[in-house]
Amino acid sequence: MDETVEVLKKLGFRDYEARVYATLAMKGEATASEIHRMSGVPRNKVYEVLRSLEDKGMVETVKSSPAVFRAIDPESVLEEYKEQLVSAVDTAIRSIKESEDFSLLHPVWCVRGVAGIKNRAKAMLQKSEEVFVITANRAYLDMILKIKNPEEITVVTDDVKKFSGLNIKTLELKEEFSGIFNDAVIDGVRYSFELLLISGYESFGVYRVGNELLGVSISLPLIILFQKMIFLGLLAK
Amino acid sequence: MDETVEVLKKLGFRDYEARVYATLAMKGEATASEIHRMSGVPRNKVYEVLRSLEDKGMVETVKSSPAVFRAIDPESVLEEYKEQLVSAVDTAIRSIKESEDFSLLHPVWCVRGVAGIKNRAKAMLQKSEEVFVITANRAYLDMILKIKNPEEITVVTDDVKKFSGLNIKTLELKEEFSGIFNDAVIDGVRYSFELLLISGYESFGVYRVGNELLGVSISLPLIILFQKMIFLGLLAK
DNA sequence: TCCATTGTTACTACGAGGGTAACAACAAAA
DNA sequence: TTTTGTTGTTACCCTCGTAGTAACAATGGA
């Protein structure tokens, strides 16, 4: 019940609407008072909410005394609702694409917060072929593997044992460079290196600054140089 | 542009959010002032909205002077958003089904408004086999044909010529009964018959009362009787 | 130096949604 | 018949999020 309400709210239902509709959909049919008791929505508000749900085509009524209400086939109504949302998204994507007007594209970008970093990384991984992953943290690799095939990945890390059994190319850093994974504290703020993705001309690094995650994307020929550096300098046999 | 904004709002974006995001997605990247000029959102609000979009993982920044903003791959972000909505709907349907507890089912139900009538009719048509359609209006039949096959439909009407060329069984009402399609005015309110669906034990009628559409669903053995009546009395050879 | 732009903060106005109280209409029970 | 409880409706308050406006320090180029 509570879960249903939460999900409905995610779909744009108001609190009262979600509670009334969930109750009605589960019980099949009910009077206003029953809905009030089961959902906790104030009794007088129930009528108001039911009218609104009726306008949206989700509830039908029998005008008796007391009036009885019923959710119109929840499955088909919600499916229809889903279709509308899907087509809305598709319309949005299409109309954005139509009027796209990319001018100069800045080669350096910062992304704040987890959500943005995930999106950014996903977008980069999807359009890239081969990718280098530099990290000391296995968790990041597991996320990457949801998007890319193992054979497209090369992992560079401090200890290859962490990534064994994955059928992935792994390279180990020389000892003198493995310190890049250690925390640094500057002016009381803790900085740590989390992850670096490199593909083609693009790199995307994730760092922890204090309590926040920061993503930095750099698209420059420089990247190729960095790749070479990795091979020439940082790696142990 | 305007269309994009409208669609985004349907997906839960606020007005300012939609306008800023649409602008940014179309232009690729822009400064706050450019966004302000193109979207009409107050310049100082642009910063606020951009931060909110950043938190949602849809915008990235380069901290220069002036700062430049960019929409993170709109297609993949919106696709992801769509997936979330779809899975939310599926969860809702599942958890409603799990806790369904249908008790006595009332045999008479009223549905107000176009949306509800559509949903109701759709639900009925989907679970029915053969169906009788009584109407004088071709438009309703076209909608029904989106859901049901022609061979499952029998149309009863005042003038079979309206429904020619559709490969559907048609029956014509005797002249003395064809008046049921005419408007009636009672106490200044206009009543008219629009559509009647009959299948098995269930009937669903649509009427116009004043300016509103009213749907009435009746699930009673009586319905079979009505069907017989149609055959015995109302029809012309 | 001056002036335009940038980024920030504070504040007002408004409406939607949540929440409470009260009341007439009605129906069943005493 | 009166009483009592329920039903459906109306009116109101409060809060919060969003739209919209004003003002100001910081920045940076001319």
Q: A184 CA to chain B: closest CA distance, Å?
A: 23
Task: Please give the pLDDT value at position B221.
Answer: 54
CA B34 to C1' D11, whole Å: 47
What number of helices (H) and strands (E) belong to chain B? 8, 11
Task: Please give the pLDDT value at position A106.
Answer: 59
pLDDT band at B173 (very low <50, low <70, confident <90, very high): confident
Distant-in-sequence, close-in-space partners of B179: CB < 8 Å, separation ≥ 6: none
Question: Which chain B positions have a beta carbon within 8 Å of A219's beta carbon?
Answer: none
pLDDT band at B104 (very low <50, low <70, confident <90, very high): very low
Helix (H, G, I), strand (E, B) or coil at B7: helix
pLDDT band at B101 (very low <50, low <70, confident <90, very high): low
Does B20 reach chain A within 8 Å, measured CB to CB? no
Task: Please give the pLDDT value at position B127.
Answer: 81
Percentages (nearest 5) of helix, strand, coil residues in chain A: 50, 25, 25
Of B235 and B64, more confident:
B64
- So what CATH class is B108-234? alpha beta
Which positions of chain A have pLDDT values less than 50? 104, 222, 237
pLDDT band at B217 (very low <50, low <70, confident <90, very high): confident
Per-position b or e across A77-106, b if 16+ CB within 10 A of its CB: bbebbbeebeebbebbbebbeeeeeeeeeb
Which of A57, A62, A115 comes nearest B119 by C-beta? A57
pLDDT band at B98 (very low <50, low <70, confident <90, very high): confident
List the structure tokens of B49: 């909205």
Task: Please give the pLDDT value at position A104.
Answer: 46
Dump strand ranges (E) for B42-164: 59-62, 68-71, 108-112, 131-135, 153-157
Does A213 reach chain B within 8 Å, measured CB to CB? no
Nearest nucleotide (CA of A66 to C1'): D7
Does B202 reach chain A within 8 Å, measured CB to CB? no
Task: Please give the pLDDT value at position A17.
Answer: 93
Domain ranges of chain B: 2-72, 108-234
Q: What fold characterizes domain B2-72?
A: Arc Repressor Mutant, subunit A (1.10.10)
Distant-in-sequence, close-in-space partners of A129: CB < 8 Å, separation ≥ 6: A152, A199, A200
In the block, which residue shows the tokens 């598709």?
Answer: A90
Tell me if domain B2-72 and domain B108-234 are identical in fold: no
Phi, psi of B146 (to 5 degrees): -75, -20
pLDDT tens by residue, A121-147: 888 888 888 888 888 888 888 888 988
Q: Any idea which of A179-193, B175-189, B221-235 has the lowest mean pLDDT? A: B221-235
Separation CA B51–CA B8 (nearest Å): 18
Closest CA to B132 of B203, B180, B213: B203
Nearest protein residue by Cα to C1' of nucleotide C20: A42
- Max alpha carbon distance in chain A (Å)? 85
What is the rounded average pLDDT of the residues B86-107? 76
What number of helices (H) and strands (E) belong to chain A? 8, 11
Task: Please give the pLDDT value at position B20.
Answer: 93
A2-74 carries CATH number 1.10.10.10: yes
For chain B, the average pLDDT equals 80
pLDDT tens by residue, B12-47: 899 999 999 999 888 888 888 888 988 889 999 999
How distant is the alpha carbon of residue B1 from its chain centre?
25
Does A100 reach chain B within 8 Å, measured CB to CB? yes
Separation CA A45–CA A51 (nearest Å): 10
Task: Please give the pLDDT value at position A197.
Answer: 86
